[in-house]
Amino acid sequence: MKIFLDSADINEIKTHQSSGFVDGVTTNPSLIAKSGRNIIETIAEICTLIDGPVSAEVTATDFETMLTEGKKLAAIAPNVAVKVPLTEVGLQTCRALADTGTKVNVTLCFTAGQALLAAKAGASFISPFVGRLDDIGKNGMGLIENICAIYANFDFDTKVLVASVRSTQHVIDAALLGADVVTLPPKILSSLYKHPLTDSGLEAFIADWKQTGQTIL
């Protein structure tokens, strides 16, 4: 399973990119606004840091403007994946961009039916929001399970990109269900390293080693 970093913060991306675990980046208008930077400049800089897909989202809601924005974003770098909302217009834009070879990430997916339409529209990625479903008492991971099964039934090329991740358990569950990608806030990626037994075990090893008086170097 690939790991994308969900961030538009250049410093955060640089910090985690050096780990070797970051296979791509996802951004959205909220993350761009939080960064306080120009979207075109930000996406261009991220694309110089990351070899994998970098999702850049359109902000228009009508087809013509959405398509124009998508083309402009796609022209920034070869690894840009244009992000469009899962609306009728968004899927029309997805099809138009996909037909020209542009990678498209269809976002704000909340049902398996929506995911089916996105795959038929030529999406490179579908982004189901598991955390937001959990927030309203629905089964976010159940949606991932259903989408993975549908895509396997028909051998769709669309990759399942698990979004709105709120915990490390979401990451584990996504991997168990066979999702292709999970996009993580930096704090969740950092949390994957950690467990209290790892820390206490390391402390014990170090204490025992000091008692030997030895050195490896």
Give me the active site residues, please: 83
Dist CA 23 CA 106 (whole Å): 18
- Between the CA atoms of 52, 102, 63 and 75, what dihedral angle is there, to the nearest 10 degrees? 70
Q: Measured between alpha carbons, how far is 149 from 172 in angstroms, rounded to an integer?
A: 18
Quick one: residue 128, left, alpha or beta (phi over 0 = left, psi -120 to 50 = alpha)?
beta
- Rounded Cα–Cα distance for residues 20 and 23 (Å): 8
Please give the distance of CA 199 from its chain centroid, rounded to a whole number: 29
C-alpha span between 2 and 53 (Å, rounded) = 11
Closest CA to 156 of 190, 102, 120, 180: 120
Q: Which of 146, 206, 194 is nearest to 167 (CA)?
A: 194
